[in-house]
């Protein structure tokens, strides 16, 4: 592999961090949609549907840009394409599938808590392979943000209990696998996205998930009839897929390209924080005082990350 680029200069200060933060807020909104309207769908079918809709949406964006007179960006070399496909395989196929498998066995709280492993693992990999570093303020901000995310999760409603000890162990293994593979996917994408236009890179990363998950999705059985039976449900899930899988992934790609891996993964880990106001507004779920306190600490941690880059 050729030596990785140290990073593409952002178009304006904190462009990568702000893009990642926007992606986290968008995903908090789409999570409420999935919670309410994805009943009856298997995790694999929902994952394939989300990625397919996002891929079609991004292809339409590429076509509209071409019709507007902007020619498609040239494809990168075969090595870069290979790394982008590999990052998509690891991040969207393996990591997301493991995440959904963990959710089914041990519930959202424990699975989300295990996702807090992503920033330190990604930062360690980026330090070892890419020579990235964080200042003392940056590391302190990362630690505070992670502690705050764990605090919000711990003060939330009790998680779903596993049916057996074996299920609990499998759920924890799936959660750890998801976190580690997501971190690996971030680091690989960070290297490859330095050498490709963002929209093209995102399309290449999504492709393996659509192709490789299709055979598994076809075995979903009744899930397909659930989608076909309710056009309104189908439309809502498609809108969530466009926002989360299309716009959100593009913003994450921007964050991956313009900001250090440790920073963007930590900001992305604040997703449970943004779920609090979104779920209150859309689902009527009120946050506990302790959750609000942890939210303030998480925002402070993100601010420390910004200071750490100066």
- Per residue, what are the HEC states of the chain? CCCCCCCCCCCCCCHHHHHHHHHHHHHHHHHHHHHHHCCCCCHHHHHHHHHHHHHHHHHHHHHHHHHCCCCCCCCCCHHHHHHHHHHHHHHHHHHHHHHHHHHHHHHHHHHHHHHHHHHHHHHHHHHHHHCCCCCHHHHHHHHHHHHHHHHHHHHCCCCCCCCCHHHHHHHHHHHHHHHHHHHHHHHHHHHHHHHCCHHHHHHHHHHHHHHHHHHHHCCCCHHHHHHHHCHHHHHHHHHHHHHHHHHHHHHHHHHHHHCCHHHHHHHHCCHHHHHHHHHHHHHCCCCCHHHHHHHHHHHHHHHHHHHHCC
Residue 310 has pLDDT above 70, yes or no: no
Domain ranges of the chain: 20-308
End-to-end CA separation in angstroms for the chain: 31
Q: Which of the four pLDDT bands, split at 50, 70 and 90, describes residue 307?
A: low
Residue 144 has pLDDT above 70, yes or no: yes
Pairwise pLDDT comparison (67 vs 265), residue with the higher score? 67
CA–CA dist 3, 79 (Å, integer): 12
**Which range has the worst mean pLDDT, 58-62, 78-82, 113-117, 156-160?**
156-160
CA–CA dist 67, 61 (Å, integer): 10
Give the global pTM.
0.73
Query: Please, what is the Cα angle at 43 between 41 and 46, to 5 degrees?
Result: 60
pLDDT of the residue at 2 = 37
pLDDT in tens, 230-273: 788 888 888 988 898 788 878 887 887 787 766 777 787 777 77
pLDDT of the residue at 109 = 57
Phi/psi at 2 (nearest 5 deg)? -70, 155
pLDDT of the residue at 90 = 93
Q: Which of the four pLDDT bands, split at 50, 70 and 90, describes residue 85?
A: very high
pLDDT of the residue at 157 = 52
CA–CA dist 11, 297 (Å, integer): 29
pLDDT in tens, 30-53: 877 776 777 777 778 888 888 899
């Amino acid at each position: 592999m050729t030596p990785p680029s140290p990073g593409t200069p952002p178009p304006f200060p904190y462009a990568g961090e702000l893009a990642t933060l926007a992606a986290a807020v968008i995903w908090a909104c789409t999570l409420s949609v999935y919670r309410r309207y994805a009943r009856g769908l298997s995790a694999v079918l929902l994952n394939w549907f989300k990625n397919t809709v996002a891929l079609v949406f991004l292809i339409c964006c590429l076509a509209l840009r071409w019709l507007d007179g902007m020619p498609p960006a040239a494809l990168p070399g075969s090595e870069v394409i290979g790394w982008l496909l590999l990052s998509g395989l690891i991040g969207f196929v393996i990591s997301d599938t493991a995440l959904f498998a963990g959710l089914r066995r041990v519930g959202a709280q424990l699975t989300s808590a295990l996702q807090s492993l992503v920033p330190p693992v990604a930062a360690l990999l980026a330090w070892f392979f890419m020579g990235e570093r964080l200042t003392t303020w940056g590391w302190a901000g990362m630690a505070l943000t992670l502690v705050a995310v764990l605090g919000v999760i711990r003060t939330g409603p009790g998680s779903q209990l596993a049916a057996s000890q074996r299920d609990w162990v499998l759920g924890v293994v799936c959660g750890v696998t998801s976190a580690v593979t997501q971190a690996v996917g971030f680091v690989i994408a960070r290297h490859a996205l330095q050498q490709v236009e963002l929209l093209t890179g995102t399309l290449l990363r999504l492709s393996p998930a659509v192709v490789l998950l299709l055979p598994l999705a076809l075995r979903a059985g009744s899930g397909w009839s659930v989608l076909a039976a309710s056009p309104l449900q189908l439309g809502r899930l498609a809108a969530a897929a466009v926002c989360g899988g299309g716009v959100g992934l593009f913003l994450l790609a921007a964050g991956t390209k313009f900001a250090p891996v440790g920073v963007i993964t930590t900001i992305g880990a604040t997703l449970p924080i943004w779920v609090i106001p979104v779920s209150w507004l859309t689902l009527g779920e009120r946050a506990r005082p302790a959750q609000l306190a942890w939210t303030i600490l998480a925002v402070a941690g993100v601010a420390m990350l910004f200071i750490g880059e100066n």
